[in-house]
Amino acid sequence: MDSKNYTQVLIDGKIYTLGGIEEEAYLQKAASYVNDKNAQMRRLPGFTKQNADYQMVMTELNIADDYFKAMEWGEGMERQKNDMEKETYSLKHELVSTQMKLEAVLKDLEERQKELDRFTRTIAQMEGELKEVREEYEALKSSREEGELSQVRMVSDVKTVSEAELVETVEAVTQAAKTADAGGTEMPDPAQEDRIPAQENRIQAQENRIQAQEDRMREQEAQGQAAREQDTTDKRESSSGSRPEQTGAAEAAATLQTAQTAGISDEELAKRALQAAKKANSHRGGRR
């Protein structure tokens, strides 16, 4: 059995002895509250003029009023406490969910960063390969242009030689025709007559060589055109937007056009030379 604590308290000017299981400080606090409430009631106007029973009842009612208000305040605080506990639980649950989402986002971000690094390395590698391919393409194009220019120079040299020989033949035939027209009685030079078929054969051989060169030039021009179209497509894909310069293939095409024109002129000159030679021979035969 718990021991009781006893203490003397002052209530309404009188000393009382209180006992209880509570501590003395609590008993003094309770007695002080009752004493303060009596003093508060006596300060009310007309309260002291009432009889003792009325004063005691009014004091007890005020104490009961304080009690119920304290109880109501305590219940409100209890409800507020429960609400705060529920809200705290909800916030903790939301915090845990947010942390889980944050961890998932961070993990996804890390994976995307790794993927971005991998793509960056792949792009750098592909750019290096593209640069090597372009350099190789430029080297091949330069080599092809040099070959085309070499063939153009070869055709030009062949035509120059053919024109020189043709001029020589025409001059010889013209000289023979002039001699025949002058009424000379000299016999035609057999060597000169033998040179005419030989010159014709040489001219025909030169024309065949020129025709073969022109065929090869046309084929290379077609290949160059395909290469230029591919080059234009590559430049459009890379969005360079630069205007393609005139390549060696275009120059070769222009030279080929000149060579073709020169070839036609040589054929006409050859025909004229043959006609002059035949005419000279006919004059000589008639005078003999």
Q: Which pLDDT value is given to residue 148?
A: 78
Question: Using an 8 Å Cβ cutoff, are 5 and 24 in contact?
Answer: yes
Q: How far, in Å, CA of 137 to CA of 60, rounded?
A: 112
Mean pLDDT, rounded, of the chain? 77
Q: Which pLDDT value is given to residue 156?
A: 67
> Tokens representing 69?
């208000």
CA separation (Å) from 271 to 230, 261, 278?
44, 16, 11
pLDDT in tens, the chain (288 residues): 468 889 898 888 889 998 888 899 999 999 999 999 989 998 888 888 889 899 889 999 999 999 999 999 999 999 999 999 999 999 999 999 999 999 999 999 999 999 999 999 999 999 999 999 999 998 898 888 888 787 777 766 656 655 666 667 667 767 766 675 565 444 445 555 566 666 667 767 777 877 777 787 778 778 777 877 877 777 676 554 444 444 444 444 444 444 444 454 556 656 666 666 566 555 545 544
SS3 of 178-234: the string is: HHHHCCCCCCCCHHHHHHHHHHHHHHHHHHHHHHHHHHHHHHHHHHHHHHHHHHHHH
Residue-wise pLDDT for 194-240, tens only, equals 666 666 677 677 778 777 777 877 787 787 778 778 777 776 765 54
SS3 of 170-182: the string is: HHHHHHHHHHHHC
CA separation (Å) from 283 to 169, 190, 225, 257?
18, 15, 54, 40
| Burial of 67 from C-beta contacts in 10 A (0-12 / 13-18 / 19+) | exposed
CA separation (Å) from 38 to 31, 55, 151, 162?
11, 9, 133, 148
Residue-wise pLDDT for 186-195, tens only, equals 444 555 556 6
Q: What is the CA radius of gyration of the chain?
A: 64
Burial 183-213 (b: 16+ CB within 10 A, else e): eeeeebeeeeeebbeebeebbeebbeebeeb
